[in-house]
Amino acid sequence: MTPHRARSIFDGLIDDSTLQVKRCDGTFWDHMPIPARVWHYICLAGFEGVASLGRISVDHALITSLVERWRPETHSFHLPIGEATITLQDVEVLWGLHIDGPPVTGRDTTHSADAWSQLCMELLGFMPARSDIDGGRLKVGCLSAVLDRPLPDDATDDMCRQMARTYLLVLIGGILFPDNSGNKVPLLYLQLLRDLETVGLYSWGSAVLGTLYRSFCNATSPTARTICGPVLLVQLWAWERMPTLRPIRLEPAQEHHGAYGSR
């Protein structure tokens, strides 16, 4: 049986240090507000819920505690009151992502750095330096530099679409599927952003949930020191399902019709 972090802590084999959560969504929130014409395409692509979350600080201690309660055998948290887990319904309600439709899949091992650069030029409107591409991943700093440039008042629709894809690539690689690098986003997802009218029809919610399960399973290893993936979703879920863990609201709650996570 694979050793579990919680058991190793109980046996005194490892300390109970807090896991470091890897994410790289700061660039997205640093470039708010998003121009109205660009925001239109982000909403059209189906990511309005996630893009409306705002900058949320991760509670590393809360995430670590939940990892120690996670059982890979059942993909659920074993709590004193019983079992609980995150479902597709939670993903849809909290982040507003589709949970049906074609699967989010693709290949990123057949493209050379030059091929990725050409794809960036076509869909993002700029060609990154070879040093900014690492094994099918693009440095977030490269995207941040692009978003630093304001959208011209006379921007064409193609320019607005390219900027929307840049925002979405940071959002997808930095919030939905961040990896352990903490500063790179996979270009695999850029291929799916070619048609902004249909990309939202993919089952992004299923991909997020599968990635979340895998991330938590990996983090239960006694040797794990970091955790990646859509960890912010777990925190929002905990705030909704366990109200005593929720931050105190300084202002009265307002009526909200979008994704619950952005309230």
Q: Are strands 226-227 and 20-21 parallel, antiparallel or unpaired?
A: parallel
pLDDT of the residue at 111: 81
pTM of the full predicted structure?
Answer: 0.93
Alpha carbon distance 260, 207 (integer Å): 19
pLDDT of the residue at 223: 94
Whether 24 and 185 have beta carbons less than 8 Å apart is answered as: yes
pLDDT of the residue at 135: 84
Residue with tokens 């939202």: 200
pLDDT of the residue at 254: 63
Q: Which of helix, strand or coil describes residue 51? A: helix
pLDDT of the residue at 253: 63
pLDDT of the residue at 256: 64
pLDDT of the residue at 107: 73
pLDDT of the residue at 55: 92
Alpha carbon distance 79, 194 (integer Å): 43
Give strand ranges (E) for the chain. Answer: 20-21, 70-71, 76-79, 82-84, 133-134, 137-139, 184-186, 226-227
pLDDT of the residue at 258: 77
Query: Of how many residues is the chain composed?
Result: 263
- Residue segments in the chain with a per-residue pLDDT below the cut of 50: none
